[in-house]
Amino acid sequence: MYLIYITYVVPLTVTVPLIIALLKYKQLGAEYLLLFYYLLVSFFTNAAAITLAESGVNNLPLLHLFTLVEGVLLLFFYQKNLTHVLNKYLFLLLAALFVVFCLINSLFIQALYTFNTYSRSAEAVLIIFLALTCFYTSLGENNRENWNKQPLILINIGLLLYFSSSLLLFLFSQVLLANQEINIIVWVIHATIVMIMYFFFAWAFLQYKKTAS
């Protein structure tokens, strides 16, 4: 039962924010289009991973590629929202360093057919830092609107929840996943957090207005 939940139910929930974003596609600003593209990449990656797994093919190379694309898209999402705080060239440097690190890790450190814990951990640290920075700057702005009506805050909550919760999994995956029972529990929790993140994105797109920053 848990395999159905992890393999099919949770990946399918990405369609919820995708559909809402598609309905508002023409209204979306550049930063929210980046998030839409990230969800689109997630959808096709999930579909390809399921297809490969059902064919008995190791799908971990997809995770290596997805990590690189995901990290770059999210970095530029934050670049659009934090240009007034962090220099845009810093984001370009971070993106370039991240891509190089992912390639070195996949080619020389952690093989394509193994879980890329180092790249995932580096990505998590980057996104956590940017999410916290985004929260900090939002608190300093004179915005009287409730947090649950602010798309950027909702997206930030989803990303911070996912990457901060998953960081321990990425760092200690070899230890945590050595025990089969713990393995099941960890991946069910991880899948649930992914689903919660998608619902925060869906909520954000529902609240999005053309004038939203």
Per DSSP, the residues of 177-205 read: TTSHHHHHHHHHHHHHHHHHHHHHHHHHH
Q: Where are the domains of the chain?
A: 16-207
| % of the chain with per-residue pLDDT over 70 | 92
Count CB-CB contacts under 10 A for residue 210.
9
User: How far is 62 from 48, CA to CA, in rounded Å?
Assistant: 8
Confidence of residue 137 (pLDDT cuts 50, 70, 90): confident
Of the candidate ranges 8-22, 43-57, 121-135, 172-186, the one whose mean pLDDT is the lowest = 172-186
Instruction: List, in order, residues 6 or more apart from 120 with CB less than 8 Å away.
Output: 67, 166, 170
**pLDDT band for position 212 (cuts 50, 70, 90):** very low
12-59 residue pLDDT tens = 999 999 999 999 999 999 999 999 999 999 999 999 999 999 999 999
Helix/strand/coil for 92: helix
Both tokens of residue 96?
């370039």
Is residue 213 over pLDDT 60?
no
